[in-house]
Chains A and B, each alone.
Chain A
Amino acid sequence: MDLMIREKIKQVKKGDQAAYEDVVMYYQDKIFQHCYRMLGNAHEAEDIAQEAFIRAYVNIHSYDEKRKFSTWLYRIATNLTIDRIRKRKPDYYLDAEVKGTDGLDMYSQLATNERLPEEEVQGMELQSYIQDEISNLPPKYRSIIMLRYLEEFSLQEISDILDIPLGTVKTRIHRGREALRKKLRHV
């Protein structure tokens, strides 16, 4: 399949717009899903996913064929979702470094405040509860957790997608998992 995409990309680079259709078709579910998990809202997700594909097309000449196309595409989509979140949430929420020795204090507080009574959780549909909890993770942890566990990228690939050092990916996935544990342990 990768070979097919590689071929198509070459054609697109040569100016064959129609060849792009297969590329979009192949990645549409993945990219839409990624945006949906990042944004927690189908309408916005569609908007941003569309935008991601259009940007990828317009900037196709800056894509380096030696690297994986999916990594490049996910990077565009992730950056767009983060921009969107930045626009709608107060900045401190997104940018706040988690304070404390292992960075978990803020989450402990959040988890305690937001924790739902057990019966309520059971009453709610588990799926949407989990989706909500994913959406409540700060974006920089959310993106990594999702890329790792829902899109199944390796840590190295995630470091490529987000353009951050591997060490940072490890720290963040660690914190993200702890945050998620606090949110989900009562389910």
Chain B
Amino acid sequence: MKCDKDVVNLMHGYLDDDLTKEDETKLRNHLEDCEACQKHFHELKRSITLLKSVEQVKAPENFTKQVMQNLPTEKKHKKYVRWFKMHPVVTAAAIFFVLMFSGLFTAWEQDSQLTVSKQEDIIIKGDTVIVPEGVTVEGDLVVKNGNLKIEGTVEGDVTLINGKLLKKEESMNGDVLLASAGDINGEFKQVNQIFDWILYHLNNFFKSIFSLGE
């Protein structure tokens, strides 16, 4: 083997852990006999060592804070929803007040009947709508005020209003994982209607308080 590009290529192959056993032996044998290549190889390894010795730098203080300050602001609606989720007690109290004072209890109650957009081949057990195994629902499926369990397949979009998507092996509490449900070939949309409902009425409620105070 001559001292040319080939040897240098082998060196780099070696540094990238990319050599066959034979090539490695070839390189080793050549290096034993050739001082120039030995030097070249040594210089390569040494420059990597030097490079790695460069000191680590740290981000300036307040870096994270600044990033956070410069993020585009969230949509207001999302902020509200998260605030509600983070303050369940306050939220519950607020719901109670709103419902009490605006007499919406009955309105909500009346609107709480379970409805399904399709009937054929679908089982309704208590407040749960089941698409049984082996059944394929053509088109979209809308379930209102009930839970949904998909063991078969839904070809179209699924919209779930004020209900939960149950896992195959069920369990109401805990997170509901879409992945572990049956097949939905369209889009899956969940409308947590009570939040929108409350947001709307809370807004009106406070508005009326403030206008009274004026």
Contacts and interface: CB of A to CB of B under 8 A. Distances in A.
B67 A155 contact: no
B12 A57 contact: no
Contact of A17 (B8, B64, B74): B74
Nearest to B65: A21
Nearest to B68: A21
A40 to B, nearest CB: 11
Contacts, number: 109
A133 to B, nearest CB: 9
A15 B52 contact: no
Contact of B54 (A101, A130, A178): A130
A interface, size bucket: 35 or more
Interface stretch (B29-37, B39-47, B109-117, B148-156): B39-47
Contacts of A173: 12, 16
B67 A134 contact: no
A174 interface: yes
Contact of A54 (B16, B44, B71): B71
B52 to A, nearest CB: 6
A32 interface: yes
A20 B71 contact: yes
Interface stretch (B55-63, B119-127, B197-205): B55-63
Interface string A163-187: 0000000100110011011011101
A12 B46 CA distance: 44
29 contacts: A16-B82, A17-B74, A24-B67, A28-B59, A28-B63, A29-B56, A29-B57, A32-B59, A32-B60, A33-B56, A33-B59, A42-B57, A46-B59, A57-B71, A58-B72, A102-B5, A126-B53, A127-B53, A130-B50, A130-B53, A131-B54, A170-B12, A170-B18, A173-B12, A178-B8, A180-B48, A181-B44, A183-B47, A185-B46
Given A17-B74, A177-B48, 8 more contacts: A32-B60, A33-B57, A46-B63, A53-B67, A101-B5, A127-B53, A149-B48, A150-B52
